[in-house]
Structure 1
Amino acid sequence: MIWTIIGILLLAWLLGFLFKIAGGLIHILLVIAGIVFIIKLIRK
């Protein structure tokens, strides 16, 4: 489940970066996804 969310956010970030769509929001969501991923790795 987490891998799907990270994949979708990464794809949205790339599309936002290429087409300048909601750039700030996508970057914030990507950072949040990265933090959640790191927390999940640490807690395993």
Structure 2
Amino acid sequence: MFGWAITFLIIAIIAAVLGFGGIAGTAIGIAKIIFFVALALLVISLVYGLVTGRRPPVS
């Protein structure tokens, strides 16, 4: 998910440089939403892992 956030951030930067303000604003908004959703899922996953005490499988 963080990869998607970075992708939308790059799209926003390129659109801003080329003068497409509306597209840049929309892309940066999407990037923010995806970033915070990914961050929330990461925290939930870490807390769940600590509470249950399960270790990830080792390959």
Normalised by the size of structure 2, how large is the TM-score? 0.51
Which one has more relative contact order, counting CA pairs under 8 Å at least 6 apart?
Answer: 1
Q: CA RMSD in A?
A: 1.8
Choose between structure 1 and 2: higher helix proportion: 1
Q: Where in structure 1 do 4 or more consecutive aligned residues deviate above 4 Å?
A: none
Aligned residues: 42
Structure 2's unaligned 5+ residue stretches are 45-59
Structure 1's unaligned 5+ residue stretches are none
Quick one: percent identity of the two aligned structures? 19
Larger radius of gyration: 2
